[in-house]
Structure 1
Amino acid sequence: MSDAPNKLDKTYSPQEIEARQYDRWERSGAFASDVGSNAVPYTVMMPPPNVTGSLHMGHALNHTIQDILVRWERMRGRDALWQPGTDHAGIATQMVVERQLGEQGKSRKDLGREAFVARVWEWKAESGGMITRQLRRLGDSTDWSRERFTMDEGLSAAVLKVFVELYRQGLIYKDKRLVNWDLKLETAISDLEVQPRETKGNLWYFRYPVEGEAGRFITVATTRPETMLGDTAVAVHPEDPRYIDLVGRFCVLPLVGRRIAIVADEYADPAQGSGAVKITPAHDFNDFEVGRRHGLEMISVIDLQGRINENAPEKYRGLDRFEARKLVVADMEAAELLEKVEPHTHMVPFGDRGGVPIEPLLTEQWYADAATLAKPAIEAVETGRTRFVPEAATKTYYDWMRNIQPWCISRQLWWGHRIPAWYGPDGEIFVAYDDAEAAALAEKHYGKAVPLERDPDVLDTWFSSALWPFSTLGWPEDRPEVARYYPGDVLVTGWDILFFWVARMMMMGIHFMGEVPFRTVYLHGLVRDQHGQKMSKSKGNVMDPLDLIEKYGADALRFMFASASAVGGRDVKVSDARVEGYRNFATKLWNAARFCEMNGCAPKPGFEPLFVKQTVNRWIVGKTAETGRQVDAALGEYRFNEAAAALYQFTWGTFCDWYIEFAKPVLLGDDAAAKAETQATAAWTLGRILVLLHPFMPFVTEELAEKLGYGHPHGLIRAAWPEWDDALVDAGAAAEMDWVIRFVSEIRGVRSEMNVPPGAKIEALLQGASGETLRRLDTNRDLVSRLARLETVAPLAGDPPKGAVQVVVDECTIVLPLAGVIDIAAERARLEREIGKIDGEIRKIDGKLGNEAFVAKAPREVVEEQQERREDFTATRERLQAALARLLTGDD
């Protein structure tokens, strides 16, 4: 990259800068890790986005945080590997290709399995790289030369080895259990792929006759009448006095005539419905557990297509489950066993891809023994080998892992890793690495060669994703990358996949590598709209990060995410206005750089900030060092918002608004030595700002460093991160210039509050000023007078004049006679009117927040918005009250 400075354009244009800078980084190898390096490695594993996907707000937040960390550590001299890749996303990808076939009037079954899978690979080759191209727009400095795909040859070999080994260790097995069954896709799906939706329905109260006691019934309430055909018990609470005498007895299941037990179980809630609960173990997850506790029969009455099967009475067989519901209710009513019907709004689980209510079904699937695998993963967090940020996630992790259920790892799809199991003629299972090994195992078992049938199912997408931290490095081959980059340093991900992905990586990593996959897990919140509402197409509030990048630049979007990312995993609110605000920040930086360029503030080789003499220069050097330390401390603790705030305040406030103003008289003056020192100091400070800001805003900082001739041979991206000498901070210079800022700011605040015309010069009188204050004033009189627009500034003789406003800075009271500049009475009336308006707004909000019904029923984000508005109004009121108090004080 060239050392020769080029004149900066008048306006900052991210669209012109970003593509060019990214291309240069990538072509130069700036993102590459070096397995042979002597530097300390730093590993971050990218959560692999779906190959079907496009960049959404969650990706943009997640990748911004990762990129900040990677760029920071790379500049600190570490060998950074940010491992990229994409996930084959079994269900999502299969659906995309099936939709394409549907548009041609075909189905996957028309093609057959082999041809369909080939078609998916074709689609992946054509469209699968879209999201990685979009991640480049965001600025991802990931090592693209190492990009992996969860179904590439190497990762497939890892999946095969893990499955076979776990099976042979007894940690993978087949079992018949309840699963979330998506009737549209005809496959089991994970809990993550289930979306509860609030649905208006009914609660039907059915009366079941008690056996041996004519005229006595036990009433159960249900939202799913059709499942009663598979009831095998009624449960009551063991301490419910209404039913104690019925425990251990039987009732008769209406419409079926089956005798079913009345059992005592704490699952039954005496306060809900009738207190008695119908138990259908084959169609409800809670009922399944009750059934196992009491050894109940599990009767499945709904088939894989959602129709009533042969286990139900003949008149219902073949009916769709919802048609059967209507008929069951009608028949119960005809039998005078329908006690009542109540409208009932409840949460119904829907498949997020299929879009229909899921059916809990009893099916035979492949399972991993998650409980056994979880034990060392729990111990690893208990002993601190892996920590969670925020700490609160640790308890959530423990709660899940200590109560973990068997992990259903099979899916009834065609796209994915095919389960390496073959079945003999009698159903005997042979798990092997390939057909030949399976045939050999079968021949040994049967004593002769027999035909085998391959299991048609594929593995859950999360199974291959669980291996990501080591499979991407070349495991199971003995590769140097595995030894160097495993375990990783930090995983950045969202709370929503803490269990589905993070926990499973912990289990698999420890089991196969003997060590945790990452030392720190940083969990961020969700991205919401400006009102705190979840983004959804139905609400019409979905924002596209690519649109925001196009309008405001990637740097602005990135800095917005950093500014909003507080430890604690709080959700991030996004709006056009917030991103535009950080675009303005980039513009402010650009304009400050142009000022430096036009005033000869060029980087000076050999410049030593320790030896500057001018007070203003000693001050800015110290402030730069303090900011650098704040950024280091904040990033070290994943407090991205604090790091961003320190950089924003220093760059915009301290450097652009104050230092440049302080420096102007020197740069325009006749003292050649002071001017040269100030030019070099300004350039040094700007250079440090560019370095510190680079992980957050890489594009604009790289462009400025290049064009202003900062001479980083491999670009700013490979520049050394600064270290800060204690001697850079001059306490005396800091105290003096901070006093100037406070003095000027207080007077500017009064001018603004009192509507003093901008061009009007006013008088300032000092009361009670110490000798040090008078010395500071004398040294900086011209600066203070120019920046505060003062006609004169002098000690006060006698009492303050009438119609003056007073403000205090340290021990000194500044008296500002304004009676001749503004109408004091009119200004007092204006302030009182403004306070009155705000009082009215606060009363309205207090009325809402004091209404228990509003707080209980309103969405959380609406209540939070009202609370935030009250805080804003309160702060404004306090500011106006202070202004009014100052005005009254001066007039009394």
Structure 2
Amino acid sequence: MHVKFKVQETGQDIIIATTRPELLCTAALVIFNPKDARYKGLEGKTAITPVFGLEVKIEQDSEADLSFGTGLVFMSASAGDQDAIRFLRKRNIKPVQAVGMDGRMLEVAGKLQGMKTKEARQEIISLLEANGLVSKKEKIMHSVPVCERSKDAIEFVAMPEFYLKQVEFKSDLLAMTGQLRFIAPKSKQLLADWISSISIDWPISRRRYYATEIPLWYCTDCKTAIVPKGGKYYRPWTDSPDVKKCKCGGSKFRGEERVFDTWFDSSISPLYILKYHSDRKFFAAHSPCTLRPQGKEIIRTWLYYTLLKCYLLTDKPIFRDVWINYHIVDESGRKMSKSLGNVVDPKKILEAFGAEPFRLWAAIEGDLTKSDLKCSFQRIQGEAKTLTKLWNVARFISQFQPGKNAKIVCAADLAVVNEMKRLIETADLSYAEYDFHGPAVLAKSFIWEGFASHYLELVKTRAYNENNAFPKEEQDSAICALHYCLETVLKLLAPILPFITARLYRELTGKDVWSEPFPEAGKLHDISLTLNDLAELNSVVWKAKRDAGKSLKDPIAKLVLTEKFRKAEQDIKTAHGAKTVEYGPGIVAQA
């Protein structure tokens, strides 16, 4: 609504738009933008507020928005929003409380006293209209802070609190972010933007029941604050201070009832891990921590406050790497919350699928450092099938025991080992970047699409070697390659699937997978044949059999192979029942 103010010096009316007319009772200033030529003549004059008759100065200030209302803005000392709070602090205007803790107008509101804010708003509008002080009313869309749960509008009340200095350290903290390695680089900018936006010191006290108590007492005579000795947890509302008398001679004390902001505690978690207070030698040897893993929504709280607090205490970053994860959201992509009723109970997932399929799904579904993941029971169930496949592969391989001096010499075996070496190299690089998605996807692909479906099917006859169709050396080569690939993939998946990998590895080798060194890729074997080549060959043969209406177990009349398959010819003939094998420019299967 547009309300008429009176200029004291000239008697002219000025029109000011407001969405909070009930706060006219605490008007502190009228401002206009320095670029607004319409009001240059008002600079330094006094405005009289309608109804309440308060005298307030008219001044220039860039905070005034030329596009809002008439360009003139009245600023209330009882801040109606966060922008108003920042303005009051910038102008050093002492807050005046217009709304009480019960949500009703206080004595300063005159006739509006005792009314709820909405009632007071309607009443002041009626008073203004009755006196001809409203020039215009219109409906507009504007932001109003509301309670997350009740959705009621939030009123800001100025109250004394404890603050920790932070504004003066902004440049130091911004410089410190350059010393940290962010796994997702854009997360670094989120932190930098937050630090740059800070305009006040950190209010560290809260007025609620459950939190860490602030260890202070006050002398009831002189109000001096009594700070106890460190090393003990105090509850000042029930405990006595560790002094009998105040310096003034008073012997009665009142315990502090306010508590710390929760981030004031959690911000020192790295210091606790590093035994900052209890073992300085340990701290010196192991500081800083390697990693801070956390969610994106607490960058401005846990991450920032940890950097601030630990910097103030140690003058350096308290960890080297920062890994910021996004969220698991519902199937529609919405963040889970009680109010939306879309929370997925993790216990139900564990009961239905188990923890390991859930872990594998979380790793495979996407990169949590880049985007949210949509929770899908169907896809979690799909990863349970991957674990079943891994279990069945392990059960098959466990029936063969590799010889002590066995070597991998056959072409197909060398090809699959080369593929595993490539997987090791990629996984090693990925894990170094805290990337679980890449290794999980590649390992799953290797198990399903290469190892189990193609290589294992190709060499299982040689591994069994029931009729001694293959030399013992070639049988041992197959068994050795099977064990090498399985044991290696278990090691690669152990950071993602700690339990099933430990179980299978112990049953296969009698050893603890967690005590084993991470696999090393080493040099690739000098062979042109690849696992992809074998997969392509199998696909061509299987298609030819299907097209001819034959079973995959039926023999095939003729195979034409390229030269790279020559050293694996016996495996191929045996696996596919090929009656004749010839060589040419491409793969041809005649069923």
1:736–1:477: structure 2 CA closer, same or farther, 3 Å change rule?
Answer: closer
Q: Secondary structure at the match of 2:367?
A: coil
| 2:486 maps to which of 680, 686, 705 | 686
Aligned twin of 2:201 = 406
Cα contact 2:414–2:525 (8 A) shared by 1: yes
Q: Give the letter for the 2:127 counterpart.
A: D
What is the alpha-carbon distance in structure 1 between the residues aligned to residue 539 and residue 485 of structure 2? 23
Cα contact 2:18–2:73 (8 A) shared by 1: yes
Root-mean-square deviation (Å): 3.2
- Equivalent positions of 1:183-222 (< 5 A) are 204-214=1-11, 216-222=13-19
- Equivalent positions of 1:288-303 (< 5 A) are 288-303=85-100
Displacement of 1:666 in angstroms is 1.0
| 1:306 maps to which of 100, 103, 112 | 103
Displacement of 1:299 in angstroms is 2.2
What is the alpha-carbon distance in structure 2 between the residues aligned to residue 676 and residue 227 of structure 1? 88
1:142-178 deviation digits (Å, cap 9, x = unpaired): xxxxxxxxxxxxxxxxxxxxxxxxxxxxxxxxxxxxx
Q: Which structure 2 residue ranges, 5 or more long, are not aligned?
A: 235-239
Q: Give the letter for the 1:500 counterpart.
A: T
User: Are 1:233 and 2:64 counterparts?
Assistant: no
What is the alpha-carbon distance in structure 1 between the residues aligned to residue 156 and residue 26 of structure 2? 13
Displacement of 1:793 in angstroms is 7.1
Q: Secondary structure at the match of 2:153?
A: coil
What is the alpha-carbon distance in structure 2 between the residues aligned to residue 246 and residue 306 of structure 1? 35
Displacement of 1:281 in angstroms is 3.7
1:43-89 deviation digits (Å, cap 9, x = unpaired): xxxxxxxxxxxxxxxxxxxxxxxxxxxxxxxxxxxxxxxxxxxxxxx
1:260–1:686: structure 2 CA closer, same or farther, 3 Å change rule?
Answer: same
Q: Give the letter for the 1:775 counterpart.
A: E
Q: Give the letter for the 1:711 counterpart.
A: G
Q: Secondary structure at the match of 2:109?
A: coil
| 1:578 maps to which of 347, 366, 379 | 379
Q: Secondary structure at the match of 2:160?
A: strand
Q: Give the letter for the 1:392 counterpart.
A: K
Cα contact 2:218–2:256 (8 A) shared by 1: yes
What is the alpha-carbon distance in structure 1 between the residues aligned to residue 428 and residue 82 of structure 2? 49
What is the alpha-carbon distance in structure 2 between the residues aligned to residue 606 and residue 378 of structure 1? 58
Q: Give the letter for the 2:209 counterpart.
A: W
What is the alpha-carbon distance in structure 2 between the residues aligned to residue 545 and residue 663 of structure 1? 41
What is the alpha-carbon distance in structure 1 between the residues aligned to residue 381 and residue 574 of structure 2? 31
Cα contact 2:288–2:318 (8 A) shared by 1: yes
Cα contact 2:310–2:316 (8 A) shared by 1: yes
Aligned twin of 2:500 = 700
- Equivalent positions of 1:308-323 (< 5 A) are 308-313=105-110, 315-323=111-119
User: Are 1:601 and 2:396 counterparts?
Assistant: no
Percent of residue pairs bearing the same amino acid type: 24
Q: Secondary structure at the match of 2:481?
A: helix
User: Are 1:455 and 2:252 counterparts?
Assistant: no
1:340–1:789: structure 2 CA closer, same or farther, 3 Å change rule?
Answer: farther
User: Are 1:618 and 2:414 counterparts?
Assistant: yes
Cα contact 2:48–2:56 (8 A) shared by 1: yes
User: Are 1:358 and 2:154 counterparts?
Assistant: yes
Cα contact 1:388–1:394 (8 A) shared by 2: yes
Q: Give the letter for the 2:510 counterpart.
A: G
Q: Secondary structure at the match of 2:78?
A: coil
Displacement of 1:624 in angstroms is 1.8
- Equivalent positions of 1:497-508 (< 5 A) are 497-508=298-309
1:516-571 deviation digits (Å, cap 9, x = unpaired): 22111111112222332222344443222221121112111111222245375322
Aligned twin of 1:711 = 510
What is the alpha-carbon distance in structure 1 between the residues aligned to residue 174 and residue 508 of structure 2? 52
Q: Secondary structure at the match of 2:55?
A: strand
Counting helix residues as a fraction of each chain, which structure ranks higher? 1
Displacement of 1:587 in angstroms is 0.9
Query: Which structure has more RCO (C-alpha within 8 Å, separation ≥ 6)?
Result: 1
User: Are 1:390 and 2:184 counterparts?
Assistant: yes
1:375–1:432: structure 2 CA closer, same or farther, 3 Å change rule?
Answer: farther
User: Are 1:742 and 2:514 counterparts?
Assistant: no
1:103-133 deviation digits (Å, cap 9, x = unpaired): xxxxxxxxxxxxxxxxxxxxxxxxxxxxxxx
Q: Give the letter for the 1:666 counterpart.
A: R
1:814–1:450: structure 2 CA closer, same or farther, 3 Å change rule?
Answer: same
Displacement of 1:759 in angstroms is 4.2
Equivalences, count: 573
Cα contact 2:430–2:439 (8 A) shared by 1: yes
| 1:558 maps to which of 359, 377, 384 | 359
Structure 2 length-normalised TM: 0.87
User: Are 1:268 and 2:67 counterparts?
Assistant: no
Q: Give the letter for the 2:318 counterpart.
A: P
Displacement of 1:242 in angstroms is 3.2
What is the alpha-carbon distance in structure 1 between the residues aligned to residue 117 and residue 574 of structure 2? 81
1:186-210 deviation digits (Å, cap 9, x = unpaired): xxxxxxxxxxxxxxxxxx3433334
1:266–1:454: structure 2 CA closer, same or farther, 3 Å change rule?
Answer: same
User: Are 1:662 and 2:450 counterparts?
Assistant: no
Cα contact 2:458–2:572 (8 A) shared by 1: no
Q: Which moved more, 1:664-673 or 1:649-658?
A: 664-673
- Equivalent positions of 1:457-496 (< 5 A) are 457-478=258-279, 481-496=282-297
Aligned twin of 1:369 = 165
Cα contact 2:16–2:70 (8 A) shared by 1: yes
- Equivalent positions of 1:338-357 (< 5 A) are 338-352=134-148, 356-357=152-153
What is the alpha-carbon distance in structure 2 between the residues aligned to residue 763 and residue 209 of structure 1? 104
Cα contact 1:489–1:518 (8 A) shared by 2: yes
| 2:38 maps to which of 218, 233, 242 | 242
Displacement of 1:634 in angstroms is 0.4
Aligned twin of 2:237 = none
What is the alpha-carbon distance in structure 2 between the residues aligned to residue 261 and residue 687 of structure 1? 80
1:436–1:298: structure 2 CA closer, same or farther, 3 Å change rule?
Answer: closer
What is the alpha-carbon distance in structure 1 between the residues aligned to residue 589 and residue 27 of structure 2? 85
Aligned twin of 1:285 = 82
Displacement of 1:378 in angstroms is 3.1
Q: Give the letter for the 1:287 counterpart.
A: A
Q: Give the letter for the 2:481 counterpart.
A: T
Q: Give the letter for the 1:563 counterpart.
A: I
Q: Give the letter for the 1:487 counterpart.
A: P
Displacement of 1:789 in angstroms is 9.4
Cα contact 2:163–2:205 (8 A) shared by 1: yes
Cα contact 2:363–2:437 (8 A) shared by 1: yes
1:704–1:815: structure 2 CA closer, same or farther, 3 Å change rule?
Answer: closer
Displacement of 1:301 in angstroms is 0.7
What is the alpha-carbon distance in structure 2 between the residues aligned to residue 262 and residue 690 of structure 1? 74
Cα contact 2:33–2:64 (8 A) shared by 1: yes
What is the alpha-carbon distance in structure 1 between the residues aligned to residue 182 and residue 395 of structure 2? 43
Aligned twin of 1:722 = 519
Displacement of 1:780 in angstroms is 4.6
Displacement of 1:235 in angstroms is 2.4
Q: Which moved more, 1:504-513 or 1:369-378?
A: 369-378
Q: Which structure 1 residue ranges, 5 or more long, are not aligned?
A: 1-203, 767-772, 797-811, 822-892
Cα contact 2:450–2:535 (8 A) shared by 1: no
Q: Secondary structure at the match of 1:623?
A: helix
Displacement of 1:658 in angstroms is 1.6
Q: Secondary structure at the match of 1:303?
A: coil
User: Are 1:546 and 2:347 counterparts?
Assistant: yes
| 1:775 maps to which of 552, 558, 563 | 563
Cα contact 1:280–1:288 (8 A) shared by 2: no
1:490–1:294: structure 2 CA closer, same or farther, 3 Å change rule?
Answer: closer
1:779–1:520: structure 2 CA closer, same or farther, 3 Å change rule?
Answer: closer
Q: Secondary structure at the match of 1:423?
A: strand
Cα contact 1:390–1:567 (8 A) shared by 2: no
